[in-house]
């Protein structure tokens, strides 16, 4: 089997008749962290949505574990092992922390199995255990992002697509969330990370993609992007 967990080939995608992505070649290898960076509106979220069947693929292909899943339905893609944490509205504010986790396990029928899984999740996110009965809407921004990731993990995904998990967080929480993502990868989950915080997002990554107006402006080892004399300055607000 191919080592590419997800691959897009010449992906053209958008919304209705509007084309946002103009032929994206992208892949993530098993157990990699791949970080996608780029200016606002460059199509980062759309790339994730096109992979997930939320945005419309006009031409090109999305391959998951060697299988063509182009324009497949989101719920089918989730069941195949692709987890997703959207940029916004990623928890149910009127449900408790525990209820949110239960919702994340909708693919697991056995109640005992769900309980066991929640215990495992609390081992990874000890702060959530203390807030088990609290409404998700009352969590701090950082706690909420932790819950959103925890909820996605409930379904035991093979790969997780994370859309700006550190947006609007204080620097302390940015590091906490990114460290947690590394831990999740180390536990065997492949990661695709979209990050506004280009420097920190690339620092934890193996490889990176720089998207500019729906095209891959640059791709390579994350370290290479961070140290590139122009890319960082031109597109990512990196000084250097
Ligand atoms: N549901 C939608 N319908 C129509 N256009 C959309 C939709 N969602 C996004 N767009 C447009 O697609 C383009 C790319 O948006 P996208 O959200 O992928 O960018 P992004 O790189 O994730 O930006 P940001 O860093 O601000 O999150 C933008 O011009 C946006 O206005
Ligand atoms: Mg976005």
For the residues of 160-196, what is the DSSP string, one character each?
EEEE-TTTT--HHHHHHHHHHHHHHHHTT-EEEEE-S
Query: What is the pLDDT, as a whole number, of residue 2?
Result: 63
Flag whether pLDDT at 237 surpasses 80: no
Gap from CA of 94 to ligand 1 centroid (Å): 27
All structural domains of the chain with their residue ranges? 4-235
Contact (CB, 8 A) for 160 and 147: no
Q: Using alpha carbons only, what angle is made at residue 4 by residues 201 and 1, rounded to the nearest 5 degrees?
A: 155
Average pLDDT in the chain: 94
Tell me how far CA of residue 8 lies from CA of 3, 25, 84, 128, 180, in angstroms: 14, 5, 17, 35, 27
Question: From atom 3 of ligand 1, which residue's Cα is the shortest distance away?
Answer: 15
Tell me how far CA of residue 18 lies from CA of 13, 14, 21, 98, 214, in angstroms: 8, 5, 9, 39, 12
SS3 assignment, position 7:
strand
Kindly report, residue by residue over 27-75, the tens digit of the pLDDT: 999 999 999 999 999 999 999 999 999 999 999 999 999 999 999 999 9
Q: Which token pair is 18?
A: 């509007």
Average pLDDT (105-116) is 90
Q: Is 88 in the pocket of ligand 1 (CB under 6 A)?
A: no
Give the ligand whose atoms come closest to the C-alpha of residue 41: 1
φ, ψ at 200 (rounded to 5°): -65, -35
Question: From atom 4 of ligand 1, which residue's Cα is the shortest distance away?
Answer: 15
Give the span between the Cα atoms of 10 and 80, in whole angstroms.
Answer: 23
Query: What is the pLDDT, as a whole number, of residue 231?
Result: 86
DSSP H/E element including 152: helix 141-154
Gap from CA of 221 to ligand 2 centroid (Å): 22
The model carries a pTM of 0.95
Q: Which of 174-183, 196-205, 223-232 has the lowest mean pLDDT?
A: 223-232
Q: Is 20 in the pocket of ligand 1 (CB under 6 A)?
A: yes
Does domain 4-235 correspond to CATH entry 3.30.565.10? no
Average pLDDT (92-115) is 93
Gap from CA of 45 to ligand 2 centroid (Å): 4
Question: From atom 16 of ligand 1, which residue's Cα is the shortest distance away?
Answer: 43
Kindly report, residue by residue over 134-169, the tens digit of the pLDDT: 999 999 999 999 999 999 999 999 999 999 999 988
Question: From atom 24 of ligand 1, which residue's Cα is the shortest distance away?
Answer: 40
Query: What is the pLDDT, as a whole number, of residue 1?
Result: 54
Give the span between the Cα atoms of 223 and 104, in whole angstroms.
Answer: 34
Name the nearest CA neighbour of 47 among 204, 201, 209.
209
């Amino acid at each position: 089997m191919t080592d590419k967990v997800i691959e897009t080939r010449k992906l053209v995608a958008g919304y209705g008749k509007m084309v946002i992505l103009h032929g994206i070649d992208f892949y993530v290898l098993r157990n990699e962290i791949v970080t996608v960076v780029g200016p606002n509106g460059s199509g980062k979220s759309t790339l994730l949505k096109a992979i997930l069947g939320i945005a419309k693929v006009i031409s090109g292909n999305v391959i998951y574990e060697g299988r063509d899943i182009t324009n497949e339905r989101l719920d089918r893609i989730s069941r195949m092992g692709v987890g997703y944490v959207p940029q916004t509205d990623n928890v149910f504010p009127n449900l408790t922390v525990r209820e949110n986790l239960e919702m994340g396990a909708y693919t697991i029928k056995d109640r005992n199995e769900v309980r066991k899984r929640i215990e495992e999740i609390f081992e990874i996110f000890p702060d959530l255990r203390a807030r088990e009965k609290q409404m998700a809407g009352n969590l701090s921004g950082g706690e909420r992002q932790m819950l959103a990731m925890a909820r996605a993990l409930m379904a035991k995904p093979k790969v997780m697509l994370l859309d700006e998990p550190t947006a609007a967080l204080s620097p302390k929480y940015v590091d906490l969330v990114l460290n947690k993502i590394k831990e999740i990868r180390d536990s065997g989950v492949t990661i695709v990370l979209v990050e506004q915080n280009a420097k920190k997002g690339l620092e934890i990554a193996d490889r990176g993609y720089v998207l500019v107006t729906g095209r891959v402006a640059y791709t390579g080892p994350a370290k290479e992007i961070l140290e590139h004399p122009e890319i960082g300055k031109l597109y990512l607000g990196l000084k250097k």
